[in-house]
A and B are shown apart, each in its own frame.
Chain A
Amino acid sequence: MMNNFLLIFRQTLRAEFADRERLLSPLLFALVILVMLAFTFGEPPAENRPAAFVAQVFLSLVLATQTALARAFDPEQQDRAFDLLRASPVDPAAIFMAKLLVVLLQGVSILVPATVVSALFCGLEVPGAALVKFSGLSLLTITGLGSLGVTLAAMTLKAHARTVLFPLLYFPLATPLLLAGTQGGIAIISPESVPVAGAMAGSWVVVSLAANTIFLTLGILLFGELVKSD
């Protein structure tokens, strides 16, 4: 199991790095979204800055991961490696975990610059302790988005019109993660604006954890069935 997992992980990572456009486009997309948000919403007044910062980070994250996730299985599709992979006796859970880990790396590579740029755009200085907590919550969000997205990518693999179908399923199902990320994020970044901010942030972490658990469990359980060929 572990060896298989590492093998697939390495192979997926190599496929990802082989195509620089695939790796960079979600990141650039996230930055474009940040600029567009600044254009459409204008400069937020001082008291709204923390909320605007959090909203920008998570919106760009969710939208940019969507473009990455919708194409999660493209390299394998192109060289028919996926069919070989499915036919091999490899545990599908290993394929799922390897894909998830790649998505996590991609998510972090989007999150870090998005956080920095968004803080710069909002003119916000986030204290270190809050930033650490915020990063933890963001990571949790990325994990949940990843499990959900990899499962949905496998579901829409054979569907025509999947460029439309994927976001149509991904965004509504991701609602708990997005709400937990943004509301928990606001409680962390500007505790003075939220009553009982500490407890609030804790509750949102629990929501995010619950969504994570459900998506990961169902993803691992169903993935084998989803990719099995006819």
Chain B
Amino acid sequence: MKLAGIALWTGLLAVWAAAIAFVPADAAQGEVYRIIYLHVPSAISAFASCFLLAVAGVFALWTRNQNYLTWQRGLAEAGLLMTALALLTGSIWGKPTWGTWWTWDARLTTTFLLAILLAAWLMLHGALPSGRQRLAVCSGLSIFVFADVPIIYKSVTWWRTLHQPPTIIRSGGSTMAPEMLALLVSGIVITAAMTVWLAWVRTDSLKMAEKLENQTGAAFE
């Protein structure tokens, strides 16, 4: 676990360094587009953790194994971190490109709502006594959130959209230069792996806290 953490951090810092110093500037947006290597990976990691949350929720309901609930807690925390980062970097990127810190763009709005929902998930988890019912309720909520996010996204898109169209996947090939695309994909992979690693560390801690609670009866979280 420790080695994985060091490797991930090295990789992440390498990607960031390359993003700031080595890749060429974008033809249309200039230097400011370099935020993409942080913004897009964090946003994708946030939504990926929402997906994993639902997967763990299904397993939890299926097997009744409390470990899956602990994993959900870790994923919700790491996912919340990534949504916060995606929102912050999106806002910082928005100022020089759109001239405003915030627009009611579909992706930004959906990420914002996802952040609220993940925070609410964590609050609900904390507000319920541990046991079978907490497992069912929190897992159910994970599935609910995951199922709702796509329609939230669709409805906000129709409501209004200002965001640039997706640049990575597009019919008729990608619009990005190969080295830029390679760096972006590595950024996405490493950030997503980092999210899972953070969730793993937290899950481990939470399991230990639970053990201590069972032994002593005091709260350790």
Chain A positions within 8 Å of B, measured between CB atoms, are: 151, 155-156, 158-162, 164-165, 168-169, 172-173, 175-176, 179-180, 183, 203-204, 207, 210-211, 214, 218, 222, 225-226, 228-230
* Contact between chains at B145 and A173 (CB < 8 Å): yes
From B4-12, B27-35, B71-79, B146-154, give the one contacting chain A.
Answer: B146-154
* Contact between chains at B127 and A214 (CB < 8 Å): no
* Contact between chains at A176 and B154 (CB < 8 Å): yes
Q: Which residues of B contact A156 (CB under 8 A)?
A: 124, 127
Interface string of B60-71 (1 = CB under 8 A from A): 010000000000
* Contact between chains at B129 and A158 (CB < 8 Å): yes
Q: A172-B116, A172-B152 are in contact. List 17 more A-B contacts (CB 8 A).
A: A155-B137, A156-B127, A159-B124, A165-B120, A168-B123, A175-B152, A179-B155, A179-B156, A204-B158, A207-B154, A207-B155, A211-B148, A214-B147, A214-B148, A222-B140, A225-B61, A228-B132
Q: Which residues of A contact B117 (CB under 8 A)?
A: 169, 172-173
Roughly how many angstroms separate A175 CA and B119 CA in the complex, as a whole number?
Answer: 17
Roughly how many angstroms separate A173 CA and B61 CA in the complex, as a whole number?
Answer: 21
Task: Tell whether B167 is near chain A: CB-to-CB under 8 Å.
Answer: no
* B182–chain A nearest beta-carbon distance, Å: 36
Closest B residue, CB atoms, query A214: B147
* A143–chain B nearest beta-carbon distance, Å: 15
Task: Tell whether B214 is near chain A: CB-to-CB under 8 Å.
Answer: no
Roughly how many angstroms separate A159 CA and B74 CA in the complex, as a whole number?
Answer: 20
* Contact between chains at A175 and B127 (CB < 8 Å): no
Roughly how many angstroms separate A175 CA and B133 CA in the complex, as a whole number?
Answer: 27
Roughly how many angstroms separate A2 CA and B44 CA in the complex, as a whole number?
Answer: 45
Q: Which residues of A contact B133 (CB under 8 A)?
A: 158, 226, 228-230
Q: Which residues of A contact B147 (CB under 8 A)?
A: 214, 218
* Contact between chains at B159 and A179 (CB < 8 Å): yes
Closest A residue, CB atoms, query B139: A225
Q: Which residues of B contact A164 (CB under 8 A)?
A: 123
Interface centre among A173, A179, A226, A229 (most CB of B within 10 A): A173
* A50–chain B nearest beta-carbon distance, Å: 17
Closest A residue, CB atoms, query B144: A218
